[in-house]
Amino acid sequence: MGKNRVILIIIIIIKASGALFKGGEVLERLILKRIGLEYIDELLSMQLEIYHQLEDKDIFVMDTEDEMRRGLKEGGYVIGVFNEANQLVGYRYASYPRQEERNLGRDIGLVDDELDSVLQLETTIVKPEYRGSKLQRKTFNSLMDYLSKDEDKEAKYLVCTISPFNLPSLKNMLKCGFEIKKLEYKYPTSENPKGILRYILLKVINN
């Protein structure tokens, strides 16, 4: 990244379940801001926690520590969501895969010269007690705010994969202006060499 790192702090008010108020609601202020490698242990811990809570593990593919470290060192973004106690309760992670094989631009027909302009939306996680507050959309809007102000921004193509069985996330991204470009099997493993079914979505942004 360049020397001038843009810092934005976005404050939102949400309705959260009030543990001390049976059946009631309490207004809570959340802060959205860009964070970096200093939070990687928390990010990985939250990712693992949420993964273990899923009944259908196929809807979520975890980022490895090496992938996330490399992504952040090479200009990626993490938009962290913090509650009033300054606890991390969610995040959105995006990286520049550049010429790596995992670049989804290859799957949708982008040529080599365009691959460096791909920003890949990797992971969005929200703790269960904060869901239902449109934080997926709000973290995306926050990411777009950073991109609009970042002098070092390289992104022209935003891409992501979503499970066809994860309808809430799919609807969110379509509302954010993404288009479904392809449906194919991705993320093969030794246990599942065929991989798992994913939509590949694209949004073209102006520089």
96 and 118 Cβ atoms separated by less than 8 Å: yes
| Separation between Cα atoms, residue 162 and residue 200, nearest integer Å | 7
Q: What does residue 75 show for φ and ψ, rounded to 5 degrees?
A: 100, 10
107-121 pLDDT per residue, tens = 999 999 999 999 999
Confidence of residue 207 (pLDDT cuts 50, 70, 90): low
- Host H or E run for residue 75: none
- pLDDT given at position 58: 82
> Is the pLDDT assigned to residue 29 strictly greater than 90?
no
Note the pTM of the prediction, 2 decimals: 0.84
Q: How confident is the model at residue 7 (pLDDT cuts 50, 70, 90)?
A: low
| Residue with the two structure tokens 């609009």 | 148
Q: Which residues contact 181 (CB under 8 A, 6 or more apart)?
A: 107, 108, 200, 201, 202
Q: What is the mean pLDDT of residues 24-35?
A: 80
Distance CA 103, CA 117 (A): 10
Q: pLDDT band for 54, please (50, 70, 90 cuts).
A: confident
For residue 115, give the 3-state DSSP assignment: helix
Structure-block tokens of residue 124: 């969005």
Domains of the chain, start order:
9-204 (3.40.630.30)
Q: Return all residues near 109 (Cβ < 8 A) that are at least 6 apart.
A: none
What integer pLDDT is reported at residue 14 of this predicted model? 52
Closest CA to 108 of 11, 26, 182, 6: 182
Q: For 144-200, how does the pLDDT look when each residue is reduced to its tens digit (9 = 90+)?
A: 999 998 877 789 999 999 999 999 999 999 999 999 999 999 999 888 899 999 999
Check pLDDT > 80 for residue 21.
Answer: no
Q: Record the tokens describing residue 168, joined without a space.
A: 């809430």
**pLDDT tens per residue, range 60-111:** 888 999 999 999 999 999 999 999 999 999 999 999 999 999 999 999 999 9
Indicate the pLDDT class of residue 56, thresholds 50, 70 and 90: confident
